[in-house]
């Protein structure tokens, strides 16, 4: 398929220039937009650059710092992008270390390129499925029914503008993961990333005004400074069973990202 503005954006961090170039050419032929980084520091800088990438392919063995360290630093800086690690280290210990630091999948060298694409597609599909979820959730004192697109508090309707509701639903679907301002502009406002982002802050503050919490630590919509926002503490309401189950939030290390 042809590359366009909607092509998934991949960051490939690989120090073997021959392999990285081959991967870039192959992945671009499959319709992805690819950026290369050939050392750990450049990879970390790119991973945290805005707007964010849709997926990171990260080699575990890099010349200046390990891919594990790059992953640890990126997760600590709020990056929740799915990460597929590549390595020649096939033992269980190294795999577990990657997963504990927040890797989403693992592929051992040597590998077939069609398997790499299959793994990438699976991670991207899993990420997209979060935006197809329905049901009712409780967060910040509100009950949000995604099916009916309604918001209530103590049984009373909460009046939100269309953009305020769209932003709340967007953050709810990405719960536990950071949404950059650029992603919000693109996905909620349908605007290019270079547009002024202060309007997002105003809409976030309007949502906070109708939710529980008086300060940064207690707000359900938390600021990730210099990057964007994330929603925490959401609970899915199982109306048929009459009980509540924890929503499938991503952990702070990026594990189990939906």
- Whether residue 21 has pLDDT greater than 60: yes
- At 190 the pLDDT is 77
Q: How far is CA 45 from CA 11, 13, 49, 53, in A?
A: 11, 11, 6, 12
Residues paired with 11 in a beta bridge: 35, 56
Q: How do the domains of the chain map onto residue ranges?
A: 9-130, 133-246
Tens of pLDDT, residues 94-123? 777 888 888 888 898 889 999 999 999 999
CB 98 within 8 A of CB 85: yes
Q: Where does the pLDDT of residue 211 fall: very low under 50, low under 70, confident under 90, or very high at 90 and above? A: very high
CB 46 within 8 A of CB 12: no
- At 89 the pLDDT is 67
- At 251 the pLDDT is 38
- At 96 the pLDDT is 77
Average pLDDT of the segment spanning 74-78: 79
Residue with tokens 């630093």: 73
- Whether residue 258 has pLDDT greater than 50: no
- At 254 the pLDDT is 38
- Whether residue 90 has pLDDT greater than 70: no
Give the class (CATH, top level) of 9-130: alpha beta
CB 230 within 8 A of CB 179: yes
Q: How far is CA 221 from CA 36, 56, 82, 210, 215, in A?
A: 33, 26, 21, 11, 10
What mean pLDDT, rounded, does the chain reach?
Answer: 83
Token readout for 128 is 């997209």
**Torsion angles phi and psi, residue 93, rounded to 5:** -60, -45
CATH number of 133-246: 1.10.10.10
- Whether residue 35 has pLDDT greater than 90: yes
Q: Where does the pLDDT of residue 5 fall: very low under 50, low under 70, confident under 90, or very high at 90 and above? A: low
Instruction: Tell which residue, 176, 157, 165, 160, has the closest CA to residue 222.
Output: 176
Residues paired with 85 in a beta bridge: 58, 106
Q: Where does the pLDDT of residue 141 fall: very low under 50, low under 70, confident under 90, or very high at 90 and above? A: very high
- At 48 the pLDDT is 82
- At 2 the pLDDT is 44
Q: How far apart are CA 240 and CA 246, in angstroms?
A: 15
Q: What percent of the chain has pLDDT over 90?
A: 46
CB 60 within 8 A of CB 87: yes
Tens of pLDDT, residues 44-65? 999 887 667 899 999 998 988 8
Token readout for 180 is 């950059």
Tens of pLDDT, residues 146-185? 989 999 999 999 999 999 999 999 999 888 777 778 778 8
């Amino acid at each position: 398929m042809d590359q366009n503005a909607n092509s998934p954006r991949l960051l490939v961090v690989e120090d073997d220039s021959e392999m990285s170039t081959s991967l870039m050419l192959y992945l671009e032929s499959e319709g992805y937009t690819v950026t290369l980084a050939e050392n750990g520091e450049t990879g970390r800088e790119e991973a945290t650059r805005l707007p964010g990438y849709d997926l990171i392919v990260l080699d575990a063995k890099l010349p200046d710092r390990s891919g594990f360290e790059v992953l640890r630093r990126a997760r600590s800086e709020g990056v929740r992008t799915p990460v597929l690690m590549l390595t020649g280290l096939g033992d269980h210990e190294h795999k577990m270390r990657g997963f504990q630091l927040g890797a989403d999948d693992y592929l051992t060298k040597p590998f077939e390129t069609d398997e790499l694409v299959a793994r990438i597609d699976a991670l991207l599909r899993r990420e997209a499925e979060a935006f197809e979820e329905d049901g009712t959730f409780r967060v910040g004192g509100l009950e949000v029914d995604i099916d009916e697109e309604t918001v209530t508090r103590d049984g009373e309707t909460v009046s939100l503008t269309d953009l305020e509701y769209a932003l709340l639903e967007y953050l709810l679907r990405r719960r536990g993961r950071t949404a950059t301002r650029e992603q919000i502009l693109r996905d909620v406002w349908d605007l290019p990333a270079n547009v002024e982002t202060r309007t997002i802050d105003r809409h976030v503050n309007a949502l906070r005004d109708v939710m529980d919490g008086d300060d940064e630590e207690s707000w359900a919509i938390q600021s990730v400074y210099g990057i964007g926002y994330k929603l925490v503490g959401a609970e899915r309401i199982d109306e048929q069973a009459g009980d509540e189950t924890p929503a499938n939030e991503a952990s702070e290390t990026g594990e189990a990202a939906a």
